[in-house]
Every structure is written in C-alpha cells, then in structure tokens.
A and B are shown apart, each in its own frame.
Chain A
C-alpha cells in the first residue's frame, strides 16, 4: 500500500443510495406550487465533497489546485470560486482549508487528479457521504436565513458569490449565495434532519415548497463520468 489510501467509495453496480434527507418526512403546510412559495427548497444530493488542506502561501500548491479544478484558489473569506457549467466550486473555509464540491460520482477522480498535481504538505479528504447540499430559492430566502443564522445575509454584507460557514439554528452550515434569490447550504449528514425540519418550520410563514431532488443518485448518473474535472 502507498503513503495515502485512496478509494473510490461509489459502487459500480445497482445500489440504491440514500441521501441524508432520505428519511425525513415533510410535515408542514406546503405551498401549492413553487410559484406561490416564498421559499423553494431542493436537495442536491450525492455531490462529491472534498476537504482540501494545504498552505495558501505555497505557490506550487495554489497552481496545482488551479490546474486540476480550473479555478483559482480563493485566499480569503469571500467569493466562492465556481464554474456552474461544470458544477465545480471551491470555497475558502479557513486559512488552510477549502471545500471542493464536484458533480456526483466525480470525487474520486478529483482527488486522484489533485494527488497527481500536488506535492509537499497537503491533504485531500473525501466527505461526500457526510454532507449534502440544500438549495433555497425564492424572494423570502434571505428573511428565512435571518431566522436561522446570526451571520449578516444582507446584500451589502453577503453579495452574490459569497460563501461562509456559520452558526445555523443550534447547529452549523456552510452558507453560499449563488444568485440574487438562490442560496446553497452545505449541511452535515447527521444534522440534516434537524436542519431541514428547522428550515421548513421557519419558512412556513412565507409559504414553502419542496422541490423534488435531482435523481443524481441513480447508477447511470454516477457512471457518467463527464469531463467535469480537468485532471491532466
């Protein structure tokens, strides 16, 4: 075996995967449709989540990450580096820590590509099974978030593109603003049920609609390895 163990943890055969929210039941008064909802909630399950650790001051490290992900490494709290078309994002989390999100099933390739390109003191850790992404859209999302986090989500403090990690209800979440009225939360698996129910409860007064998730967990999707990650 090598210095670092790397494993593709996704099955090749027909395996039914369950997102962290698979068991949570919706039991609030829901808006009839997405159109009359102030908040639309949609899970983006099964995405690839990697924690990247390394030295921001190491030029080779920064260059290597950029070669692999096609995104410049953000060096401070602020905009999340993101390529919507390829479904790849790279977020500064702390002075030596970043969150990489790639399309479902591509986390192994992304990790392998990073390990090919990076040298020295760094780490790549797969957390895909431990996290999920909730997308919140609608005119009332900002107000909803104010009921959840003490972080300032006003456009002046939280412009489109920004991402932070903060307190969320009595747990925590990564909060990202993708668009004017589109936000993403990255939440931990074991807290997902609590946070999801908290969000639906808090959004009830605005009218909330739960949109079906993408069927990204299907075998076909996982097997389809598009060139989303530009490993060379």
Chain B
C-alpha cells in the first residue's frame, strides 16, 4: 500500500519528509505532520482493533481525544512500551512501532470473534457480572483471558529508561485550548502584561482553525493562527505549551497539565548534548483565572451497525481531508441533523471524490452550507437518516429511510446507497469534562442541544464549550474573556482588534441521537453508543427496564463511559437514550461525573522525579560516610539511614551482632546516636513546661543533671520518651526518639500555643546541629580520658546522669553520662561539622581497647537485656507508664496537672488485667521467639482461645547465654514464674517462662562504676 488515500496537494503535512512506521508488523509510510491515525487512513488501513466485548472489527472514528477505537500499544522497544495511546493524538515519527491493543491473537482473526458473531444476545449488559463472577474464586482466571482478548494494553516488562518531571507554575490567566476562542483570549490577556499560559493537547496550536473552510481576514485561518503565535512568542510573560493536555482541574484553579515533550520524536527520549531530555512533564499550575476553551466533541448518530469501519464523525472526515490531505474513502454518505456537518461533504467533494448523498434528519434544511451543497448538485435526502450500515470490515452501503424523530420510528421505505464511508453528526457536545472535575455539574442548554460547564469560581468558558462555535463568535467571546480575566487579575488592556470572518448562516439543528430502526432496538442490529466498551442502545434500554433509573447506575450496569476514553464520544447519546426510555428530559437524566485525568496519563509523569533514589528523602548523619566505608548495613528509621550492624569479613548478621554485643559488655563499643531527636528549650518557664509535658517532675533537676522523661498523650498512653538535660537554669536539651522528633516538637508547640501561651519558653529543633556519639562499655572512661583534659571523669565527680561541658579531641563538646545499654556510657555531643574528626580520634585512641562500632540491632539487644523499652516497639499507643512498670516515672504530686494525668486516674487505666510489660525466657534457651507472636495460657491449642498478649522484642543474648524476649501480657506482673505458650503458624507451640523484664544487672552496678 502506498498512501492510496493521500491527496496530491493540500493539508499541513510535509510531503518532503516521508516517515516509515510499523503497524501490526506491517511497514507503512506517512509524512511529517501526520498523526498515526491520519497515516493509517492514508494507507487505507480500515481495521485498527477489535471491540472489547463482541470482538467486532473497528476503525478510526474521530480525529482527537474522543477516539474510542484506535487505541494502540506503542513502542519500538520493550522498555518503551506505552499502552492506551490514541492514534489520533500520536504524532508520527520515523521508526514508530504501534500495534492494536484490542484483538488478541490478531485483529483480523480472533478468538472472541467466535463468541461475538455467534451471539450478541448471549452477552447482554451485566454479562460479565452474571456469568463470570460465580464462582468468585475463578474470576481471576476468567479475567486474565478476557482482558487479554479484550485488549487493554500492557505495561513494559523492562525498566523505563526515560525521565519525567514536574514543574510548578503560577499564572494570572491559564487558557486551556488554542482554537479560535483560546487564541483570542490568550492574545488579549497576554497583551495586558499578565502572566499567561496557553496550552493545547495537539501537536499544532489552532484547533478548528487548522481545518476551517472560512477565511480569516481574507487569508486561510491558519495564517491568522501563525500570526497570533508569533505575537505570543514575543510576550515575555506568555508561555505557549503545545502537546500539553490539561488533565485535571482541581480546587482553587489548580490545574495539572501533562506535556509530552519527546513522544512526537522517538520511542525513547533522545539526549541532547549528552543531557537526558524529559519525556513528559507535569505542570502544576496555580492560576488566578482559568479560561476554558476546550471546544466541542461531535456526537455520532447511533444507528445500526454504526461501528463498521468506514463510519466516522463528520468533523473528523473534514479534519483528515483538510489538515492531513487524507480522504478516508471513495464514496461518502453523510447523515446529519445539522448544517455544520455539511462541511464534510463539501470537503469530500473538493477532494474530488464522490458524495453519494447527504441524508438530513430535518425536513427543510436551510443554510449557507446547505445551499452550497445544493449548488454543487449533491443529492440531499431530507427528513431521513442512515438507519443501518452494511458491511463487516468496511462499510459497503448505507440503509437510508425517512424517520419520525418525535415518534421515534422509521416512516418510509428503506433505500440502500452503495458507499464505503458514512459520516454522521448528531450535534456538538461542549467539552465540559475539566469543569466537571471541580464538582460543577454541567448544565443543559436547549438552544445548542448540549451540556455546558457549570459555574466554577475563577473560570470562564469561551467558544465552543460556551455554545459559541462559529469562528467569529468564538473569537469575540475569547477576546472579551481574555480582557476580563486580565482585569480581574489586576491588568488593564483594550480588546484586540478581531480579524474579519464571514458569518456562515446555519439553520436550526434537529435533536437526533439514536436513529430509529425498522426493528425495535432490542432486535435491530447493534446500535453502538460507546464503542470502546461495546455499550449499545439496546443495552441502555435493558438497563432502564431492569430498574436502573439513575444515569450513574445505568453507567455502572452497562459499562458506558468506563473505557479509557471516558465515553467522550458516546455519553451524551447514552444519556439521551436513557432519557427517552425513562420518558424524561436529558437535563432530568443528568450526566455522569467526569474525573481526572482527561486522557490516560503515564505513571511516569505522575511520579515525576519522585522515584527510585528520590522516592523518599534519605537523611544521613554527619558520620554516614564513615559507616559506609566501614561496611555498615543500614536500617531505615523514619527517613534516617542508621547503621544496623557492621559485619566483618563474611560474618552473618547474627554473628556480627553477637560480636558487637560482647564488645560493649566486655570492652567498649560506639554508636552513632545522632539521629535521636534533639529539642532545645529556653525560657524562664522551661521547667514548668517540662512538668506539664512529661509525666515526671522537673522542678528540682539541677543544672548539669539529666533525667529520663516519659511523655503521654492526653489519653494517658505513652507517646515518646527520652533523656532531657538541664544545661542552664532556664535552658534544657531534650532528646526524643528518632522517629518521634518532629511530632514531639509539633506537640510541644501545639500545647504551648493553644493552652499555655503565658509560659515564657521557646523550642527549636537542634537534631541536625549536634552529632551524638555514645561510647559504652567498661573501658569507656579510659577511652574518653585519652581525648579530654578539661573534663574530670572521676567516678564521683562525673556521675551517672550528669552532663559536663569540655573539649573532646580538641572539639568543644557536651558529654552526657547516660546509658541505653546499662554500661558505663558517655554520649559525646559536638557540633556536627566537627563530628567526623572526633569520631576518628576515638577510633585512633580506641584501638587498644577494641573499640567496636555497633548498630541499631546491637543497641536493641543490649537495651532489651536491661528491660529498657523502645516507644513504638514495646508500646503501641495503648500502654500506660504503669503498664510498662514505670510508675516511678509518674509524678502524681506535681502541683499543676500534666498531659495524661486525668486519663491515668480512670478505673480503666488502673485495671490489674491490663497488658503489662514482662520478660519471657523461652524454655529452649536457643529459641528466639518471633516478634509479634501471640501468647496464650494453655498448652493445648484450640481455636478460638483467649490470647493474652504478644512478644514485642526478641533476641539471642551472648551475654546471658540464652534467648530472651520482652512481651506484653494481660496481668503480666502477677504472672512472674508462670509458663505461657506461643502457638506458631506451622503448628509448633513454644513455651516460655514469664520473668522480670530486666535480665541483666537489675541493681545498675555496671553503669554506676
């Protein structure tokens, strides 16, 4: 085939740049400026896919976003696969590879065709639900094959090498759509100096002007488009975005635009100068004013077999002829209910091909275009419509008959016209989708037989979407709106002089949606309403008869509008049919809800750069590079990357942790504790604030002393803990859990701002400012002594829970003698920029003591040996301080109340059978219980049986020589010495003894040396 349908002249394609492409394995040729659809039509490709349910052959119907059939799988490479691309919106490039998504195993001969041809009637609406849903367990199996056969495209199996990104934009006026109204609006607003963005989903700006028959200022309309674009390009505050679809219209004029930057160039985004180009970009636009110039979608007429390839909407025929110089057939029959569609016949005749007849539903068509057709001796059949198409893989004829629209019946004999193309037009539906995204319900207008956008604050519809489709009207409407929008955003401008466009007189359109057939809809050949989902007029009739009266229910029952095209072509027809069946008006029937995105959008564009390494921020401490160099394995704690353990050689995690645990208990270990939240508190009421935010008392804490504190929520449940040091009388350094830091600061600010604003105190996060290095173990003092000469480390001068200021390794430091391991321990805090120096100095001096870096896993084991809780591990938002055995940390005698006090004096929080923290010693000393394992009291397992608690932490301790666990158990403090049982999923039942949660050094001798 060699572009048999291409005209020798005309169109906006570049005949000097032929492009080869492949469709369903066949190599074809088109020209630069083609869409994939226009190139396919130029080559006479009739069948582009198979239908979803009945597997009928389908051809190209439209020329824009509303195309329901020509949905292709694009991609020359596996990594470049893109499903659900509308061939009508895909620019042709050399080497493009496309395949039909509908029609496995192939479009010409297929599996479901057997079912489809045997019986439409076997698959009424609800067929899938009624047939395949039972038994439910088999649905995934059915679904797999149905989906494959129906063809919903597929995702690539290889990683997408392209990049996508987001950009935030702010503008005074956003113009969506660059047809006559949009361009006039952009020009008017742009000249005011306002910040203007004008976007259009097509490769070329201009919309309907690109295929208009009308002259604009005596020249082709496209010349005016070029002059406007040239002027817009000179305005510094105007941004023109072609190939950019406004896909979502959100609240407060926040609009997401999807710009396809390279998809018109190649399969994968090309690099320029070694720099990767962004394949698609999401513009997140916040607009002062939105001008909606989205135009209209033409409605096809719903007649029998209206899905046979060769059946198109009239406007698309014009577009293909005038814009792409492609005549998609030889002999045309036009079926219309309005004047405007006559253009298709005139364009067809201009192209030198035969117009068999114009079949007009109106008795007395009158208008300039009608007269032109008459003058050219085109046969016009009034009061009639095409009631049925003949043909299977291509239209071979049109059955035409007189119809009685009001009576919804055929009123005369049927004449068959031989033709290969049927263009139809039932009218023009304003593209209300975007406005509807905001929740504004479209409003019906009888004068234009269509829904227009409902009111959206800050949004002005112009042109076709506003019921003003004639070019002169659209230009004036757009210009006025552009001026007004600029004014509302603070800019003054005079209305631009508009070009002269001759007015085309058009007669009144008839309201025709479904065309009556000689047989009732249920018996007539299928009359398709939504070709993508194979919804027929009969299906909608059936739905209404089965009691689905709400249009939303009809939609869900039939599947109308559920396709990737969201029913752009067919929804209004469907609503009209439902209205007729329900004997009500279309506005009474209403529309379904349109939602973002307007057209399918690739996940890449949604994710932008927030993927892979940028998916979530990773926070690092000042010592991270050292940890990496020393082979640390990392654990994510919140967004922090913390060393988990430091394996040596081929050590397993278990081996490394055992070694690290012993090193701390026997020599000295070091932990990077920098991730702990740190909050600086200053002010004369700092103590009082601490008294209220913590459960324990802070009034008497001396300067230079540290205290452990528990924080409860107002329900009395533990929310965070940490050590806070008094570093000045009015100055405290609070630490929080790593994950709780931000929430604790917010919590403190909230209580301060809303409840106790009279307290003179300020807080600030200093988490990142300080690096904290905790040296733990019997040799900790000896090691520290080697690096400081201005801190007296003597046991009685620098006691447990003391803080000292001084110099460590030449760096000013605050050293806290606090311990999360139960060992002699110093936590050295220095300004983070100097931390690596101190850390390295510690290792230099620490070598002879066997200084061992350890990670969070060892930290967990060591603290658990001491029965120290981790908030979020031993607690789950339902543990009180008493439940944790920490009543020593609750100051009921504090004069002012504190957060949680009232809740902790309720009977429920005093219950003795609450879950309480205990230790578990497995009877098998090698057995490490599963964390989360449920605890029961009886060895004999039955289902159900009372579960009394669960394991919260569980480890093997080399120091104890056996495994151990922490757990919460109902009434646990009364069960010390009892044996409990832990049934496992594999049927085993473990046994453990309930013991004190403190396994090591209960008297604290090790840390008080």
A residues with CB within 8 A of B:
1-5, 7-20, 22-23, 29, 45-46, 51, 53, 96, 121-131, 143, 146-147, 149-152, 154, 156-157, 169-171, 188-191, 193-195, 197-198, 201-202, 204-205, 207, 217
Contacts and interface: CB of A to CB of B under 8 A. Distances in A.
A13 B834 CA distance: 12
B195 A23 contact: no
27 contacts: A2-B728, A3-B728, A3-B730, A4-B682, A5-B805, A10-B831, A13-B810, A15-B810, A20-B768, A20-B833, A23-B628, A29-B275, A124-B682, A127-B764, A128-B769, A129-B770, A129-B831, A130-B832, A143-B167, A147-B166, A149-B168, A169-B609, A190-B621, A190-B640, A197-B613, A201-B609, A207-B275
A122 B805 CA distance: 24
B275 A205 contact: yes
B805 A7 contact: yes
Contact of B619 (A3, A51, A191): A191
B617 A194 contact: yes
B496 interface: no
B769 A5 contact: no
B831 A20 contact: no
A19 B620 contact: no
Contact of A125 (B168, B680, B809, B811): B680
Given A129-B832, A150-B168, A194 B769 contact: no
A188 B836 CA distance: 18
Interface in B612-629: 613-614, 616-622, 624-625, 628
A8 B760 contact: no
Given A169-B617, A195-B617, 6 more contacts: A3-B684, A3-B729, A147-B165, A150-B284, A170-B614, A190-B768
B269 to A, nearest CB: 11
Contacts of B766: 125-127, 130
A85 B161 CA distance: 47
B704 interface: yes
Most buried by A among B628, B682, B766, B835: B682
A4 B619 contact: no
Q: A interface, by DSSP: helix, strand, loop or mixed? A: loop
Interface in B551-592: none
A129 B617 contact: no
Contacts of A194: 614, 617-619
B277 interface: yes
B837 A130 contact: no
B830 A121 contact: no
Contact of A130 (B275, B620, B769, B836): B769
Interface in B745-764: 760, 762, 764
B995 interface: no
A11 B703 contact: no
Contact of A5 (B275, B727, B771, B836): B727
B814 interface: yes
A2 to B, nearest CB: 6
Interface in B763-788: 764-771
A169 B684 CA distance: 38
Given A2-B728, A128-B831, A169-B614, A8 B805 contact: no
A46 B807 CA distance: 20
Contacts of A7: 805, 812, 814
Nearest to A147: B167
A193 B165 contact: no
A130 B772 CA distance: 13
A149 to B, nearest CB: 7
B775 to A, nearest CB: 19
Nearest to A170: B617
A2 B640 CA distance: 35
B274 interface: yes
Contacts of A11: 807, 810-812, 834, 837
Nearest to A13: B810
B731 A46 contact: no
A59 B995 CA distance: 62
Nearest to B624: A23
B768 A123 contact: no
B277 to A, nearest CB: 7
B767 A130 contact: yes
Contacts of A146: 167-169
B168 to A, nearest CB: 5
B278 interface: yes
A204 B271 CA distance: 11
Nearest to B805: A7
Contacts of B619: 190-191, 194
B748 to A, nearest CB: 13
B764 A154 contact: no
A15 B165 contact: no
A194 B703 CA distance: 38
Contacts of B684: 3, 121
B217 to A, nearest CB: 34
Contacts of A13: 810
B828 to A, nearest CB: 13
Contacts of A51: 764
A137 B362 CA distance: 67
A189 B170 CA distance: 30
The 8 closest A-B pairs by CB, nearest first: A130-B768, A130-B769, A129-B832, A23-B625, A190-B619, A129-B831, A9-B831, A123-B762
Contacts of A22: 625, 836
A3 to B, nearest CB: 4
Nearest to A193: B620
B648 interface: no
Interface string B98-110: 0000000000000
Interface string B718-746: 00000000011111000000000000000
A147 to B, nearest CB: 5
Interface string B627-649: 01000000000001000000000
B683 interface: yes
B276 interface: yes
B762 A53 contact: yes
B610 interface: yes
Nearest to A124: B682
A16 B837 contact: yes
Interface in B800-842: 805, 807, 809-812, 814, 830-837
A55 B278 CA distance: 48
B277 A125 contact: no
Contact of A17 (B277, B609, B834): B834
A126 B682 CA distance: 12
A138 to B, nearest CB: 15
B276 to A, nearest CB: 7
Given A17-B833, A121-B760, A198-B609, A154 B170 contact: yes
A121 B730 CA distance: 11
A143 B195 CA distance: 15
A169 B609 CA distance: 9
B276 A204 contact: yes
Contacts of B624: 23
Interface in B645-682: 680, 682
B608 to A, nearest CB: 9
Given A9-B830, A15-B834, A29-B274, A154 B195 contact: yes
Contacts of A198: 609, 614
Given A4-B730, A7-B805, A193 B812 contact: no
Interface in B421-457: none
Nearest to A151: B168
A217 B683 contact: no
A45 to B, nearest CB: 8
Contact of A157 (B170, B704, B805): B170
A154 B196 CA distance: 13
A190 B767 contact: yes
A71 B537 CA distance: 76
Contact of B620 (A29, A169, A190, A202): A190
Interface string B277-292: 1100000101000000
Nearest to B618: A194
